[in-house]
Structure 1
Amino acid sequence: MKLPGQDAIARQADEHLTTYKVKLPRRVVTHPLRQVLTRLAMALLVLLTAMFVVYLDRDGYRDGNAEDGEVSLLAIAYYVTVSLSTTGYGDIVPVSDSARLVNILVITPLRVVFLIILVGTTLEVLTERTREEFRLKRWRSQLRDHTVVVGFGTKGRSAVQTLLATGLSKDKIVVVDPNAKVVDAATAEGFAGVVGDATRSDVLLRAETQKARQIVIATQRDDTAVLVALTARQMNRPANIVAAVREEENAPLLRQSGADAVITSASAAGRLLGLSVLSPRAGNVLEDLIQHGSGLDLIERPVIKAEAGKSVRETEDLVVSVVRGHRLLGYDDPLASPLQLTDRLITIVRVTPTPPVAPIRPPKNL
């Protein structure tokens, strides 16, 4: 669904689009010094190959500077170097048919290869910007139904890790953050990143928010989250927007701004603290549910054919709620049973522990 003026905004963003604002994951490249040394070694190999070919047919060449006209090994090295780097000076020339044929079939192609190797580094530098712009245009044209994560701090990183654990690929996640170092850290991990203020529509357009399926807002300030939600909802009506706020009193305002779900980080942490005081083990269970990848986990899955028509308590999994249309029914709600094939179940399951991963430390000055 497009809003009035959205195409004009998109065109304006395209006109001002620059590669330093949108950063794609970079391929693993060789160190520049190693690239230069590799090119020099290849050039030397081409020279030695040409010298070997000329040496085998040295009787077919004449040296105009030598009294007997014979070509020495030094003259061969000189002739090959001059022939590969220029068109030659004519002081050493092929006179036999075999030598001339070797020049046509071997020396000339080697000259082209030699020149390509010498200017390869310069061409690579000159074409780097063009390649990056091409990659960016191709990325933007192929990107759709992705997830935009606004804010790559502690909350944003945890949300991304959870999304990855549920099977979402890295190329379907775009990180938006005003800190260039944070975006660099995201691209180093394989995500596409956009540097800029997400409250601005042009920044969200660079992240292709208008084509996103879901938007995660994990900013450091509640007022920023409200503005981002307003801008994102105006840009993309069908998207599922999930936001985090620090203060519970700001949650209704964020819902009014367009967020489908609002997580209050301060009250959630406070409830976990209070529950841990009253019942440490209950606090451990709740913390286990929050942490993804080990112990107990909350998942949403469809009802299978074998479960259709049965009661909630007759399923193998521990059902917490039943999603029926736009309604969320508790496990003890009389309307939850019998289960329908179109229902979705929110269940508690036990997951296999995953190998420990080194913690990701955000850059300083966040």
Structure 2
Amino acid sequence: MKLPGQDVIARQADEHLVTHRVTLPRKMVEHPIRQVGKRLLMALLVLVVTAFVVYADRGGYDDNADGSLDLLDCFYYATVTLSTTGYGDITPVSDAARLTNILVITPLRVLFLIILVGTTLEALTERTREEWRLNRWRSTLRDHTVVVGYGTKGRSAIKTVCATGLRKEQVVVVDPSNKAIDAATADGFAGVVGDATRSEVLKRAEVFRAKQVIIATQRDDTAVLVALTARQLNRNAKIVAAVREEENAPLLKQSGADAVITSASAAGRLLGLSVLSPAAGMVMEDLIQQGTGLDIVERPAIKAEVGKTPRELDDLVVSVVRGHRVLGYDDPDVGTVQLTDRLITIVRATPVTQVTPDVRPLPRP
């Protein structure tokens, strides 16, 4: 395997010694300046309404300066009243004015204070609210999918598994790039910023409770280290990894990966097939795009199929999974279908809502 020297690995680890954090997807919010502007306009509106309410009943107020209120005095009274300053130089003296203060001015004062301190309260409670969301997210996260790397391969892998019915809430993306995690959260996925070769980063992704781990890193040596770390934290998860060089695939399997896809070789074979037969290339491309045209799926054999050969089944069977062996449809060892077999078939793509829960896509390049 072509691995860089230990000094390069150590330097790479040092570069990723940054504070890792968990980011949950959230709804788009307005710009803070626009939010402050809206609240300021609301506060001014409350102030104007209060001033005109006082002006409408100005005869019921007493001004220590000249005994009467004009429009400026009403705005002054509204200002000192809503801000709870209350100098006492202008006071309601009639029963109607005092009743108006009780039923109208006081609620407006409370509303004015809520608007003014709303931004401050929101800033103070944001951290608490985020911690509550994280704790709730951790407590409900079970049997999820951890995707390491949010590049082209990672995005395509997520798109494929989500096409089979996996909810976005069940996907956690791990990537050392803040921009990649921001893109993941914008797409509706939870994200963890950090180096996935470090166990504490994968622990934040709750990998020890994950059902499957998809490793789509840019480097083969990084994929090996991630597979080792993930397998150490979770002995039962299904780990699928992608590598660039075919000679690195055996090492990844020894590191704990259940399936390894050689992306460069697979792309090259597809290119060669397209040159020899463009139509065959189109069919293969259709097969690796889940949810459109034809799909290749793995499903359990049903009772009605037991005792028949793969050629006698209604679905187009290409392979039979028996135990830990994958047998071709024409393999003499297949014989007839058994109840414990799993069949790899080519079927017409169906909407997500109609996908059988036990049908799952095969690992794709």
Name the SS of the counterpart of 1:45 in structure 2: helix
**Runs of 5+ consecutive residues of structure 2 not aligned to the other structure:** 1-16, 353-365
**Displacement, 1:217?**
0.5
Q: How does 1:283-302 map to 2 (within 5 A)?
A: 283-302=281-300
Q: Which amino acid aligns with 1:137?
A: N
**Displacement, 1:180?**
1.5
**Displacement, 1:84?**
0.3
Q: Which amino acid aligns with 2:58?
A: R
Q: 1:312–1:319: 8 Å Cα contact kept in structure 2?
A: yes
Q: How does 1:203-214 map to 2 (within 5 A)?
A: 203-214=201-212
Residue 133 (structure 1) aligned with residue 128 (structure 2): no
**Displacement, 1:70?**
2.7
**Displacement, 1:119?**
1.7
Structure 1 stretch displaced more, 320-329 or 41-50: 320-329
Partner of 2:60: 60
State the distance in 2 between where 1:336 and 1:71 align.
100
Partner of 2:10: none
Percentage of identical aligned residues: 75
State the distance in 1 between where 2:135 and 2:323 align.
38
**Displacement, 1:317?**
1.8
Match of 2:320 among 322, 340, 357: 322
Partner of 1:240: 238
Partner of 1:333: 331
Match of 1:94 among 82, 88, 92: 92
Structure 1 stretch displaced more, 208-217 or 262-271: 262-271
**Displacement, 1:305?**
4.8
State the distance in 1 between where 2:50 and 2:63 align.
17
Are residues 61 and 341 of structure 1, via their aligned partners in 2, closer, same or farther at CA, if it must alter by over 3 Å? Answer: farther
Q: 1:300–1:347: 8 Å Cα contact kept in structure 2?
A: yes
Are residues 277 and 353 of structure 1, via their aligned partners in 2, closer, same or farther at CA, if it must alter by over 3 Å? Answer: farther
Are residues 157 and 95 of structure 1, via their aligned partners in 2, closer, same or farther at CA, if it must alter by over 3 Å? Answer: same
Q: Which amino acid aligns with 1:328?
A: V
State the distance in 2 between where 1:59 and 1:307 align.
93
1:95-151 Cα shifts (integer Å, max 9, x gaps): 122322222232222212101111212222233223222222222222121111111
**Displacement, 1:335?**
5.3
Name the SS of the counterpart of 2:241 in structure 1: strand
Are residues 310 and 289 of structure 1, via their aligned partners in 2, closer, same or farther at CA, if it must alter by over 3 Å? Answer: same
1:282-307 Cα shifts (integer Å, max 9, x gaps): 33322222233433221123334544
Partner of 2:175: 177
Structure 1 stretch displaced more, 334-343 or 238-247: 334-343
Are residues 223 and 52 of structure 1, via their aligned partners in 2, closer, same or farther at CA, if it must alter by over 3 Å? Answer: same
**Runs of 5+ consecutive residues of structure 1 not aligned to the other structure:** 1-15, 355-366
1:285-341 Cα shifts (integer Å, max 9, x gaps): 222222334332211233345444443223322111223444433222355454344
Name the SS of the counterpart of 1:145 in structure 2: coil
Partner of 1:44: 44
Q: 1:218–1:243: 8 Å Cα contact kept in structure 2?
A: yes
Match of 1:223 among 218, 221, 224: 221
State the distance in 1 between where 2:336 and 2:96 align.
91
Q: How does 1:23-172 map to 2 (within 5 A)?
A: 23-66=23-66, 69-172=67-170
State the distance in 2 between where 1:305 and 1:27 align.
47
State the distance in 1 between where 2:167 and 2:47 align.
47
Are residues 271 and 109 of structure 1, via their aligned partners in 2, closer, same or farther at CA, if it must alter by over 3 Å? Answer: same
Q: Which amino acid aligns with 2:243?
A: V
Partner of 1:350: 348
Name the SS of the counterpart of 1:30 in structure 2: coil
Q: 1:294–1:353: 8 Å Cα contact kept in structure 2?
A: no
Q: How does 1:271-290 map to 2 (within 5 A)?
A: 271-290=269-288
Normalised by the length of structure 1, the TM-score is 0.84
Q: 1:213–1:240: 8 Å Cα contact kept in structure 2?
A: yes
State the distance in 2 between where 1:41 and 1:244 align.
55
State the distance in 1 between where 2:288 and 2:104 align.
68
**Displacement, 1:28?**
1.0
State the distance in 2 between where 1:72 and 1:309 align.
99
Q: 1:301–1:344: 8 Å Cα contact kept in structure 2?
A: yes
Are residues 253 and 85 of structure 1, via their aligned partners in 2, closer, same or farther at CA, if it must alter by over 3 Å? Answer: same
**Displacement, 1:240?**
0.3
State the distance in 2 between where 1:98 and 1:343 align.
86
1:54-74 Cα shifts (integer Å, max 9, x gaps): 3343332111212xx232222
State the distance in 1 between where 2:232 and 2:303 align.
39
**Displacement, 1:176?**
0.8
Q: 1:295–1:353: 8 Å Cα contact kept in structure 2?
A: no
1:157-187 Cα shifts (integer Å, max 9, x gaps): 1111111211111111111111111111111
Partner of 1:3: none
Structural RMSD (CA): 2.4
Q: 1:321–1:328: 8 Å Cα contact kept in structure 2?
A: yes
State the distance in 1 between where 2:274 and 2:53 align.
82
Normalised by the length of structure 2, the TM-score is 0.84
